[in-house]
Amino acid sequence: MGGKTLAGRMGDRPSRVRRRAPQCCCGRKQPKDRQNMTKFKASTRKDLPQIAEKLKLDKEQILDMQAVSAVLPFRVNDYVVENLIDPGDVPDDPIFQLTFPQRGMLEETDYQRMRDLVVRGASETEIKLAADEIRGKLNPHPAGQMELNVPKLDGEVVAGMQHKYQETVLFFPTQGQTCHAYCSYCFRWAQFIGDADLKFASKEAEELARYVRENPQVSSVLITGGDPMVMKTSILRRYIEPLLAEDLPNLHSIRIGTKALAYWPHRFTEGEDADDFMRLIGEVKAAGKHLALMAHSSHSRELEPDIAQLAVKRLLDAGAVIRCQAPLIRKVNDDANVWAQLWRKQVQLGMVPYYMFVERDTGAKAYFEVPLARAYKVFTEAYSQVSGLCRTVRGPSMSASPGKVLVDGITEVGGEKVFALKFLQGRDPSWVNRLFFAQYDPKATWLDGLKPAFGEERFFFEEPAEKNQPESVRKP
């Protein structure tokens, strides 16, 4: 790190990121003629040598990235490279760490194995076999997503949906199972590696509407991925319009999880497709439903470009609410000043700070994870710096198998130092807002690394998994 603090590198100084134009990454003002719209250009593993030239990376760094990206998915685009990454601060630049594969993301023995294959020019088949073996050790579906969250209709599993909390259903449209760029920490990395057995996806819009109708406890649908905003609005309409056409008085809100505001804000500003999405927001509102964009917002730099701010304005003017969430990630945003600055910027633009998550126990977690004690310290110090308008945010929160668990404090009870924990969501709704305590462990990074406090043998929620599923999932 060269002796610089993370705050000094990311939070307080102006970034040296190249700015080619106030509203466009290609050197033009935002075009009026749709023939001149900014072109999206994605780069993947095969393009690393070309990207390296832009970022002044050496051959050893390229080999490192080629080895790691054979296992973990990699995708970036010109907008991210040219507008969000400071080439003078690579490899420490937070957006570079957020989007590019790093050597430490694999265990050393796995890294050496993959690097040797790359160096000797092994066949794609040999590389894939080795990569698949390593992926199997990386917990591709954390928190029981494949076993515990799968809903059913007529006794049959409904593909491409998850139902963990009684009031919210997650829907994974097939066409949205990629992103404009991949976050290197992503807990859904298994969606992007081409293995059908590891992927959630559905083309069945009618099944979604029917499931919501037959489960009146469902009040919210979250359309997620991947990133649904990679889809054309006409495709997105196929999934949303049936929810509006059906008589679904129980459905109050439709949410769309997206990183497009950071990685490709042009999606909301240019051309007929962007205009049609603004109309779709209005149609959802006119149907009496709330529409929220759940924006993955990791660093204030993502909100600095004029094009990103224009995208936010258009969405808010159309009637959407933008709620912002992201995990606390080592080397990206593990500093209180960075979070405070991020929350202030969000509020300034009219967005709502929503969640600080704890990095999930999957993929390159050993590279990115932060101990719970430090996560709580970062959150508390950031929270203390901002006004009440920013304090809509909750965290640090773990999306674990039993539910969303908040680290609510570190305190001493009866002479024992403990974590005070609380359920924000639970498989069993009766757990919500319930406090419980764990022994203080300065090294613990996830719920399953904690032990009950006060001599208890187990936490109250540690029951057989089938007892902890929503009622709709348990139906025969």
The reported pLDDT for the residue numbered 19 is 44
Neighbours of 175 (CB within 10 A): 17
pLDDT confidence of residue 308? 98
Q: Report the candidate in 203, 200, 199, 292 with the shortest Cα–Cα distance to residue 242.
A: 203
Q: Name the average pLDDT for the chain.
A: 87
3 state SS of 60: helix
What is the pLDDT confidence band of residue 203, given thresholds at 50, 70 and 90?
low
Q: Is 54 exposed, middle or buried (0-12, 13-18, 19+ CB in 10 A)?
A: middle
- In the block, residue with structure tokens 């919501």: 212
pLDDT at 177: 85
**Mean local confidence (pLDDT), 91-114:** 94
Residue 247 pLDDT = 86
Q: Is it the case that residue 326 has pLDDT exceeding 60?
A: yes
Distance CA 268, CA 291 (A): 15
The whole-model pTM stands at 0.87
24: three-class secondary structure by DSSP = coil
Structure tokens at 411: 């305190």
Provide the token pair at 130.
């080795």
- Whole-angstrom distance between the N-terminal and C-terminal Cα of the chain? 55
Q: Is 411 helix (H, G, I), strand (E, B) or coil?
A: strand
Cis peptide before 305, with omega less than 30 degrees from 0?
no
Q: How confident is the model over 125-143, as pLDDT tens digits?
A: 999 999 989 988 876 555 4
Burial 432-448 (b: 16+ CB within 10 A, else e): eeeebbbbbbeebbbbe
What integer pLDDT is reported at residue 108 of this predicted model?
93
Indicate the residue type of 163: H
Residue 190 has pLDDT above 90, yes or no: no
